[in-house]
A = this chain, B = another copy of it.
């Protein structure tokens, strides 16, 4: 679903923001750490970051259980507003509690974030987001262009 330019943009970020909807149709939005797997599937762990962990995780997990529709935004800010850009991925989320795919995602997350050695329990639940559409806006091609040749 996600083309190469969109995936490259998304994967350049350490943090994205995940929006879910609660049972009363009110949105919730939180920052998330994430990885992209094969075919652009997005994974985010229910991790063990300090303080109020249970509460903040329960909200998004509860929301997904009653309404799996989610959106994830990946955006860059710049003082030069000609350089602004973002991608919003819309899709369906599911909590992975076990299985090969959960382990695959955990491995990817640990490879991306060395902090997970401290903050991620082995076997932790992982949210999977399968994109069904996306919106891109502004300049999403130059996010990491400084270190790349222009014709890569």
Binding site for B on A (CB under 8 A): 14-15, 17-21, 24-31, 49-52, 55-56, 67, 69-73, 75, 77, 79, 81-82, 84, 86, 88, 90, 115, 118-119, 135, 137-138
In the assembled complex, the CB of A147 is this many whole angstroms from the nearest CB of chain B, namely: 18
Contacts of A19 in B (CB 8 A): 17, 19, 27-29, 71
Q: Which 5 A-B pairs have the closest CB atoms?
A: A19-B29, A19-B27, A19-B19, A26-B69, A31-B75
Instruction: State the number of copies, please.
Output: 2
In the assembled complex, the CB of A14 is this many whole angstroms from the nearest CB of chain B, namely: 6
Task: Choose from B50, B71, B118, B138 the contact partner of A27 (Cβ within 8 Å).
Answer: B71
